[in-house]
Structure 1
Amino acid sequence: MNNPFERLPEVPAFTLTSTSVKDGEPLTAAQLSGQDRSPQLSWSGAPDGTTSYAVTVYDPDAPTGSGFWHWAVANLPASVTSLAEGVQDLPAPAYQLPNDARLAQFIGAAPPAGHGPHRYFITVHALDVEDIGVPADATPAILGFTMAGHILGRATIVGTAETVSP
């Protein structure tokens, strides 16, 4: 199955944990559409030289031809190493970009009924710049393209979700 990072340069991994999501396991109701609560995240061991972080949640299995971006956060200061579940107020100068529903927030998983299991790549990207330089109304794809040459390390948890046909 496709991995959204397989064609990007390899970078060191660091540790990402969550009280909301367990790697390889189904998302909880809080991370599904309707509740739309971003997962709790904690990370450690980012590479030396990290000056900021970005966080993304991406479903490569969405039936769109381009996947579906559920969340994108840019410019998290290097001093931040965790986010609460359902975080609303990000530490300055961080901001949320509009997801593929064009909402500047986390939007929960809602795979189409009968489409099979979907994977949700919840990723913290360690960056070598304090300000990634993308406008707050940019798409997550533009964020990904812009930060590709600035990623020092990556930490990922993959959650799953499936809606069974009635």
Structure 2
Amino acid sequence: MSLDRPVTPNPYDLLPAAPSFAVTSDDVADGQPLADAQVAEFGNTSPQLAWEPVEGARSYTVTCFDPDAPTPSGFWHWVLVDLPPEITTLDAGAGAEGATLPGKAFMCRNDGGSKAFMGAAPPAGDQVHRYYFVVHAVTEPELGIDSDASPAVVSFNLAFKTAARAILHGTYQH
């Protein structure tokens, strides 16, 4: 069963321009299929991520977004907010529910309902989905929201407080 719909644009092309910086992963290769560990039914584990420090960043926010979900608003898989500026790496599994996070960092509820990373879970037979893992260098030490903020509210705040953005995306088709 294919839902037969057009491919959505890269959502980050639609935001105000921001300088880019490098993000790498031992678990996600840019533009390549995700490993089973990052898929909901097999591992549901957030990937390892590392990025270069951004001069002037006062905190970081890490998100994972699927713009290809069969909804008008896509699907947020992970929202990790207020990472201290000296943190430039996350181990695999850092997005587990209840994980100990550095400083004042916390996770907001994803679109699946948990305050954790939720692995790829597109509908069976649907088109290939893209999963954008994005590190946002933030101009403030705190984004100014709490863990009950929706991913859309987090994204709205990031539109005004992002100094730079690093993007890595994997794909998955069920």
Interval containing the TM-score (normalised by the shorter chain): over 0.9
Q: Using the alignment, how far apart are the partners of 1:113 and 1:103 within structure 2?
A: 22
- Please state how far the C-alpha of 1:127 moved relative to its aligned partner: 0.6
How many aligned positions are there?
162
Matching residue within 13, 17, 22 for 1:15: 22
2:71 corresponds in structure 1 to: 64
Is contact 2:139-2:162 (8 Å) kept? yes
- Please state how far the C-alpha of 1:101 moved relative to its aligned partner: 1.0
- Please state how far the C-alpha of 1:144 moved relative to its aligned partner: 0.5
Superposed counterparts of 1:50-129, under 5 Å: 50-87=57-94, 88-129=99-140
Q: Using the alignment, how far apart are the partners of 1:123 and 1:7 within structure 2?
A: 14
Is contact 1:15-1:45 (8 Å) kept? no
Give the secondary structure class of the aligned counterpart of 1:6: helix
Give the secondary structure class of the aligned counterpart of 2:170: strand
- Please state how far the C-alpha of 1:3 moved relative to its aligned partner: 1.1
Gaps of 5+ in 2: 1-7
Amino acid paired to 2:18: V
Matching residue within 51, 55, 67 for 1:43: 51
Of the structure 1 ranges 36-45 and 55-64, higher mean CA displacement relative to structure 2 is found in: 36-45
Q: Using the alignment, how far apart are the partners of 2:112 and 2:83 within structure 1?
A: 22
Is contact 2:137-2:165 (8 Å) kept? yes
Matching residue within 20, 27, 35 for 1:28: 35
Matching residue within 13, 26, 41 for 1:6: 13
- Please state how far the C-alpha of 1:8 moved relative to its aligned partner: 1.2
Normalising by structure 2, report the TM-score.
0.91
Is contact 2:53-2:88 (8 Å) kept? no
- Please state how far the C-alpha of 1:64 moved relative to its aligned partner: 1.1
Normalising by structure 1, report the TM-score.
0.95
Give the secondary structure class of the aligned counterpart of 2:14: coil
Q: Using the alignment, how far apart are the partners of 1:93 and 1:152 within structure 2?
A: 20
Gaps of 5+ in 1: none
Q: Using the alignment, how far apart are the partners of 1:30 and 1:7 within structure 2?
A: 30
- Please state how far the C-alpha of 1:45 moved relative to its aligned partner: 4.4
Give the secondary structure class of the aligned counterpart of 2:70: coil
Post-superposition CA distance 1:65-121 (Å, at most 9, x none): 110000000000000000000012210200010000110000000111111100000
Amino acid paired to 2:154: L
